Structure 1
Amino acid sequence: MGFTIGAISGLSGIREIRELRPGARRRERAQLCTRVAEYTSLWGWDLVPGARATRSGGRVVCSCGARACPSPGDHPLDASLEVPAGATVEEATRAWAAVPGAAMLLPTGRAFDVLEVAEHAALCALARLERMGVPLGPVAATPAGRAWFLVAPGAAAELPELLYRMGWDDADLDLRGRGEGQHITAPPSDLAGRGPVRWLRPPTLERAGRPPQARLLLGTLAYVCHRSSVVRPRTPDGPAAVR
């Protein structure tokens, strides 16, 4: 049907809009369910429906309904509605029908853990790691300027010991782990009303089920995070300064 907003007038235009909306909603739901099934069936990851958030006039409202939600748009809705790894499109459709519009959350500490750094540090680290030929898993970026490296499970618990062995335990690094009992927002879901999460390196059949060991990436990530913390951006008065 070809028309513009300016051409719509009167009740007939309203009826046309109403006729279009259900179809658009159905297509959106179908695309979402396909993505859910992609995560569970193709990549072999569990998926949990998450809350959504809206921002208006400086206020953030969470879809969970809690007035003082501590993590608006960034927490699971109901763990009992989890879609397990291996679920089909039909199973995903039935599960997501109970929570239409929910964000997609990936539990950490199961198929993978996460190493989180600033996105600008992640981009520098990715360039170095790719040049060195280090095997990499999926990497996602958030609208808040953070990046998530998916690594083998257990990395979050082992992170302090790994940093100690590499000599980075006393450095003030903007580097943290996410493991058992935590989650990340799956692309392209919205994170906390800020915008969609996106892939810097999307999952592949080869790496989705076999994320790399954290120790293979950690030295480079720690170095780049350290450099990012000691080098200040260039200012109008002169070049970058090093503390």
Structure 2
Amino acid sequence: MEETIAGPQAAQIPKQRGESLQDTAVRYAEERHWDVFAGTWLEAVEGVPRCSCGDAACAVPGAHPAREDWATQATGSATVARRMWAKQPTASILLPTGRTFDAIDVPETAGFLALARMERMELTLGPVTCTPDRRMQFFVLPGAAVKIPDLVRRLGWPPASLDLVALGEGMYVAAPPTRYGSRGAVQWACRPTPANRWLPDAEELISPLAYACGRER
């Protein structure tokens, strides 16, 4: 079953229902060959969802690594992933970047504007997430984190002037349907499909993304 929600630019974001976090994590490992690891989870404290890390002021409750060695725990094995979530069925699903993909992180409004331009340009897109803290993350080939500053400069923008961040080695993204406290769940703006298994290079998407972020300044 799928549900759509309205976003900026009247975009529709499919939202999956009825699949456990464990099944979803296993599917990411099996079908997309993405490494996955189990992060923190939400616990009800006096009826209020709190992060399992114990920090009442946690910035991303239930959606960050639960241990410092998370990078070595990330696995592409469906069997190991199933075992991870069997231990903690409500753990968030986190995907390390810098391995099978990097991610370009931009504000949600800029992301929807860029998506509209990309469709008009008939660009091939990879998966794109939309997070409860109003960010969008565009999956691209690994290596983007190194290329992005120079690519942005070539377009005439000082990299520090744009709210555009490349997530590469040593970083991660939260995957749907991970929840951020009471703010909602991560969802797909462009869900993974057989058609977008082959990811675009950062160079293919940087122009519309930089333009959209420039409009947001």
Normalised to the residue count of structure 1, the TM-score between the two structures is 0.72
Q: SS of the residue aligned with 2:133?
A: coil
Aligned identity (percent) is: 42
1:189 aligns with 2:178: yes
Instruction: Give me the whole-angstrom Cα distance separating, in 1, the residues matched to 2:183 and 2:117.
Output: 29
1:222 aligns with 2:210: yes
Give the strand-richer structure, 1 or 2: 2
Assess if the C-alpha contact under 8 Å between 2:39 and 2:92 holds in 1. yes
Any unmatched runs of 5+ in structure 1? 1-27, 230-243
Greater relative contact order (Cα 8 A, min sep 6): structure 1 or 2? 2
Change (3 A) 1:150 1:30: closer
Assess if the C-alpha contact under 8 Å between 2:75 and 2:81 holds in 1. no
Match runs of 1:69-84 below 5 Å: 72-78=61-67, 79=70, 82=73, 84=75
1:84 is displaced (CA, Å) by 2.2
Match runs of 1:1-243 below 5 Å: 31-53=20-42, 61-65=50-54, 72-78=61-67, 79=70, 82=73, 84-88=75-79, 91-169=80-158, 172-208=161-197, 210-229=198-217
Assess if the C-alpha contact under 8 Å between 1:171 and 1:226 holds in 2. no
Assess if the C-alpha contact under 8 Å between 1:185 and 1:191 holds in 2. no
Equivalent position of 2:8 in the other structure = none
Instruction: Give me the whole-angstrom Cα distance separating, in 2, the residues matched to 1:143 and 1:167.
Output: 31
CA RMSD of aligned residues (A): 2.8
Instruction: Give me the whole-angstrom Cα distance separating, in 1, the residues matched to 2:124 and 2:115.
Output: 11
Change (3 A) 1:60 1:35: closer
Instruction: Give me the whole-angstrom Cα distance separating, in 2, the residues matched to 1:175 and 1:192.
Output: 24
Assess if the C-alpha contact under 8 Å between 1:162 and 1:215 holds in 2. yes
Equivalences, count: 198
Q: Which moved more, 1:111-120 or 1:164-173?
A: 164-173
1:81 is displaced (CA, Å) by 8.3
1:129-185 CA-partner distances (Å, limit 9, x unpaired): 111111110111011111110111111122111111222226721111111111111
Letter in 2 for 1:148: Q
Equivalent position of 1:236 in the other structure = none
1:192-232 CA-partner distances (Å, limit 9, x unpaired): 54210000100112323x21101111011111111122xxx
Instruction: Give me the whole-angstrom Cα distance separating, in 2, the residues matched to 1:126 and 1:29.
Output: 28
Any unmatched runs of 5+ in structure 2? 1-16
